Amino acid sequence: MRKCNLPSLGSIYFLVVCAVLYLPILLLIIFSFNNATALVFPLKGFTLQWYGTLFENRELLKAVGNSLMIGFGSSLVATIFGTMGAIAIVRFKLPGRNIFLAVAALPLVIPYVILGVSLLILFNEIGIRLSAFAAGLAHVIISIPYAMLVVASRLVGFPDNLEEAAMDLGASYWGALLRVTIPICSPALLAAFLLCFTISFDEYAIASFLVGTDATLPVYLFSQLRFPTRLPMVVALAAILMTVTMAVMLFTEWLRRVVQSPAKKG
Amino acid sequence: MTDYAVELCNVTKVFSSGRGAKSEDVYAVKEMNLGIPRGQFFTLLGPSGCGKTTTLRLIAGFETPSSGEIFIQGKPMSKIPPNVRPVNTVFQNYALFPHMNVASNVAFGLAIKRVPRDEQKCIVKEALELVQLADMGKRMPSQLSGGQQQRVALARALVNKPAVLLLDEPLGALDLKLRKAMQIELKHIQEQVGITFVYVTHDQEEALTMSDFIAVMSDGLILQLGDPATLYKKPANKFVADFIGESNFIQGTVDSITQKGTKLRVLDELVTVDAMEVNLAKGQAATFTIRPEKMMLKTKQPVSTEALSGTVQEVIYIGTDTRYIVTLQSGESVVVRVQNGCSPDVEQFSKGDLVKVVWLPDDARLLAD
Amino acid sequence: MENRSRFASLIGPPSLYLLLIFLLPMGVMFVYSFRAGIAGVAYDTFTLANYQSFLTNSHFHRLLWRSAGISFTISVISSLLAYPLAYYLVFKAGPNRVTLLTLLIIPAWTSYLLRVFAWKLILGSSGLLNSLLLSIGLIEVASPILIYSRGAVIVTLIYVWVPFVALPIFAALERIDKNLLEAAADLGCQPWEAFLRITLPLSFPGILAGLFFALIPTLGEFVTPLLVGGVSGSMYGNLIQDQFMRALNWPMGSVMSLAMLVAVLLLVFILTRLSSLTDLVRFS
Identify the domain containing residue C216 by its residue range: 58-283
Q: Is residue C39 part of a domain?
A: no
Helical spans, DSSP H, in chain A: 9-32, 49-56, 58-91, 97-105, 112-126, 132-155, 162-168, 173-176, 182-202, 205-210, 217-224, 231-258
Of A8, A84, A208, the CB nearest to C10: A84
SS3 B131: coil
Asked, for residue C227, whether it belongs to a domain, the answer is yes
C37 falls within a domain: no
Is the residue at B199 inside a domain? no
Given a contact cutoff of 8 angstroms between Cβ atoms, the answer to whether A134 and A224 are in contact is no
Could you give phi then psi for residue C184, rounded to 5 degrees? Answer: -65, -45
Is B138 strand, coil or helix? coil
pLDDT at A259: 62
Q: What is the CATH number of the domain that holds B301?
A: 2.40.50.140
Alpha-carbon distance of A156 to C282, in angstroms, equals 9
Do residues C261 and A110 touch, judged by C-beta distance below 8 A?
A: yes
B294 within domain boundaries: yes
For position C42, what pLDDT does the model report? Answer: 59
What residues in A contact B87, CB-CB < 8 Å?
Answer: 168
Cβ contact C220–A222 (<8 Å) = no
DSSP element (H, E) containing B287: strand B285-290
Q: Which amino acid, C31?
A: V
In a domain, C263, yes or no: yes
Is the distance from CB of C113 to CB of A218 less than 8 angstroms?
yes
CB contact under 8 A, A25 and C81: no
Query: How many folded domains does chain C comprise?
Result: 1
Q: The domain containing residue B275 runs over which residues? A: 246-367
Condensed to tens digits (0 to 9), the pLDDT of residues A73-96 reads: 999 999 999 999 999 999 998 888
Query: Whole-angstrom Cα distance, residue A169 to residue B60?
Result: 11
Q: Cα separations (Å) of C52 from A110, B205, C148? A: 25, 80, 32
Residue of C nearest to A125 (CA): C28
Mean pLDDT of C136-159: 76
What local confidence, expressed as pLDDT, does residue A261 receive?
52
| Higher pLDDT among residues A264 and A170, named by residue | A170
Whether C10 is covered by a domain: the verdict is: no
B340: CB partners within 8 A, 6+ apart: B317, B319, B320, B321, B322
Please give the Cα distance from C128 to B366 (Å, whole number).
98
Q: What is the ipTM of this complex?
A: 0.87
The pLDDT tens digits for B141-160 are: 999 998 899 999 999 999 99
Considering only CB atoms, which chain A residues are within 8 Å of B81? 167
Region class of B365: left (phi > 0), else alpha (psi between -120 and 50), else beta:
beta
What percent of chain C is modeled with pLDDT above 70? Answer: 89
Q: What is the mean pLDDT of residues B290-302?
A: 87
- Bridging pattern class, strands B67-72 and B75-76: antiparallel
pLDDT band for position C141 (cuts 50, 70, 90): low
Q: Considering only the beta carbons, identify the residue of A21, A141, A257 that sits closest to C22.
A: A141
**A92 touches C: beta carbon within 8 Å:** yes
C17 domain-assigned: no
Distance between CA B352 and CA C187 in Å, rounded?
Answer: 49
Share of chain B above pLDDT 90, in %: 47
What pLDDT is recorded for position B363? 84
H/E element holding C134?
A: helix C128-136
Q: How confident is the model at residue B124 (pLDDT cuts 50, 70, 90)?
A: very high
Q: What angle do helix axes A182-202 and A231-258 make, rounded to 10 degrees?
A: 160
Q: Convert the pLDDT of each residue in C95-123 to its tens digit.
A: 888 888 888 888 888 888 888 888 877 77
Contact C211, C203 (CB under 8 A): no
pLDDT at A265: 34
Contacts of C210 in chain A (CB under 8 A): none
Confidence of residue B277 (pLDDT cuts 50, 70, 90): low
The answer, yes or no, to whether the previous bond of A42 is cis (omega within 30 of 0) is: yes
Minimum-distance CB partner of C111 among A107, A209, A242: A242
Q: How far is A114 from chain C (nearest CA, A)?
A: 6
C-alpha B133, offset from chain centre: 29
> Chain B residue closest to A175 (CA)?
B112
Distance CA C229, CA C237 (A): 12
In this complex, the residue of B81, B95, B146 whose CB is nearest that of residue A266 is: B146
Beta bridge partners of B126: none
Strands B221-226, B248-257: pairing is unpaired
Residue in A66, A77, A111 with CA at minimum distance from that of residue A192: A77
User: Mean of the per-residue pLDDT values for chain A?
Assistant: 86
**Shortest Cα distance, chain A CAs vs residue C209, angstroms:** 12
Distance from CA of C72 to the nearest CA of A (A): 15
For residue C89, give the CATH number of its domain: 1.10.3720.10
Is C126's pLDDT higher than 80?
A: no
Map residue B323 onto helix, strand or coil: strand
Angstrom distance (rounded) from CA C141 to CA B168: 82
pTM of the predicted protein model? 0.85
Residue B351 lies in a domain: yes
Q: What is the DSSP string of B167-232?
A: EESTTTTS-HHHHHHHHHHHHHHHHHH--EEEEEES-HHHHHHH-SEEEEEETTEEEEEE-HHHHH
Indicate whether C42 belongs to any domain.
no
Q: Which of A70, A115, A73 is nearest to A216 (CA)?
A: A70
Distance CA B110, CA B116 (A): 8
- Highest mean predicted confidence (pLDDT) among B11-20, B267-276, B313-322: B313-322
User: How close B155 comes to chain A (CA, Å)?
Assistant: 12
pLDDT of B278 > 70? The answer is no
E strand spans, chain C = 36-38, 41-43
Q: Give pLDDT tens digits for A133-159.
A: 999 999 999 999 999 999 999 999 899
Residue C277 lies in a domain: yes
> What are the tens digits of pLDDT across the range B206-233?
999 999 999 999 999 999 999 999 998 8
Q: Which chains touch A (3 or more CB pairs under 8 A)?
A: B, C
Percent of chain B with pLDDT over 70: 95
Task: Specify which residues B334 forms β-bridges with.
Answer: B326
Task: Indicate the residue of C118, C212, C237 with minimum beta-carbon distance to A25.
Answer: C118
Number of domains in chain B: 1
Closest of B326, B317, B278 to residue B298, by C-alpha? B326
Q: Is C68 on the interface with A (CB under 8 A)?
A: no
Q: Is residue B258 part of a domain?
A: yes
